[in-house]
Amino acid sequence: MIKYLGSKRRFLERIVDVARTELPEATSALDLFSGSARVGHAFKGAGLRVLANDHNEYARTLARCYVEADDDLVPAATRLIADLQRTPARAGWFTHTYCEQARFFHPKNGARVEAIRERIDRLDLAPLLRDVALVSLMEAADRVDSTVGVHMAYLKAWAPRAHNELELRVPKLLPRSPHGRSEAHGLDAEEAARTLAADVAYLDPPYNQHSYLRNYHVWETLVRWDQPATYGVAAKRVDCKTRASAFNLKRQASAALERVVDAVRARVLIVSFNDEGFLDRATIEDMLSRRGPVRVCAMEARRYVGARIGIYNPRGEKVGAVGKLKNHELLYVVRCAS
């Protein structure tokens, strides 16, 4: 899966175990801010029927691949991806924008990404098979990028991996849950909380000012393939300026989370929040306690790589020292009263 800020890769077993321990009879799980789809994929791997949701199109595509698609697609996906791998390179808008104007990928790989993406649209693919192909391409590009893991900037010199050959792989698709087909949705979080019900609801909202759309704008463009107007050195999509989330605004984050917590329809609610976030532990516990008794699990985590290399200005000059290297991920667990 792609490199992802705030990824719960190291905590997946703990999150699933908490859900299973709190409600052993659970058959379904709602992942309300699905992001990389790792948590939804883990819940599905544990046999639950999963409802994943995210308002960014690249994240919804990841969830359609890793949550909604089942392993009966593997034979067709294997043939398709082997065929796409043979697509000749062709440079165009994507290569110019993200390999020359900005330098997220080496031009030789950018031209291959571009040609494969164009071909995916020309093929008459079933929707979920198309999503699997898009995720395979996104992950292949991620393995040869030249960044520290986000799209806010790129490295001054090409990362060694940027010179590797682009290689498509079949994503790890899972069997369908015995409790029914999983789903991927693209709703606003509050709307999803009101309309999607499950035994266990997992919430991992943005916890500070860093927008996931801005951090992964290249994936949004790769999936939408809409050639948006761009701005800045990192060639961000112009809609990064207008598609703001209340969760990224300090004055609005508390009320936004409170509305979602009040609306969510589940027997058990698990909220993941970082101790560097806008909201402190006391605020979140008070908010959640209205739904039922709250217990908290703390998990130590390394800070993202950008925080570990120091602070640099746009000219690449180091202007700040590394701060703390670790933080804590807090899991708030609520047995909902109603």
How many structural domains does the chain have? 1
* Structural domain contains residue 109: yes
Task: Give residue 143's pLDDT.
Answer: 98
What are the distances in angstroms from CA 115 to CA 68, 95, 255?
27, 10, 44
Flag whether pLDDT at 199 surpasses 80: yes
Structure tokens given for 180: 């029914």
Q: Which domain holds residue 137?
A: 72-173+214-244
* Structural domain contains residue 294: no
* Structural domain contains residue 45: no
* Structural domain contains residue 265: no
Q: For 316, left (φ over 0), alpha (ψ -120 to 50), or beta?
A: left
* Structural domain contains residue 166: yes
Q: What does the pLDDT look like over 146-189, one tens digit per residue?
A: 999 999 999 999 999 999 999 999 999 999 999 999 999 999 99
Name the pairing type of β-strands 236-237 and 230-231. antiparallel
Q: Do 103 and 146 contact (CB within 8 A), yes or no?
A: yes
Which residues, other chains included, contact 251 with Cβ-Cβ below 8 Å and sequence gap of 6+? none
Q: Do 176 and 61 contact (CB within 8 A), yes or no?
A: no
In the block, which residue shows the tokens 């759309």?
213
Q: What does the pLDDT look like over 296-334, one tens digit per residue?
A: 998 876 655 555 556 655 555 666 666 655 678 899 999
* Structural domain contains residue 151: yes
* Structural domain contains residue 203: no
Task: Give residue 8's pLDDT.
Answer: 83
Q: What does the pLDDT look like over 235-261, one tens digit per residue?
A: 999 999 999 899 999 999 999 999 999
In the block, which residue shows the tokens 């927008």?
211
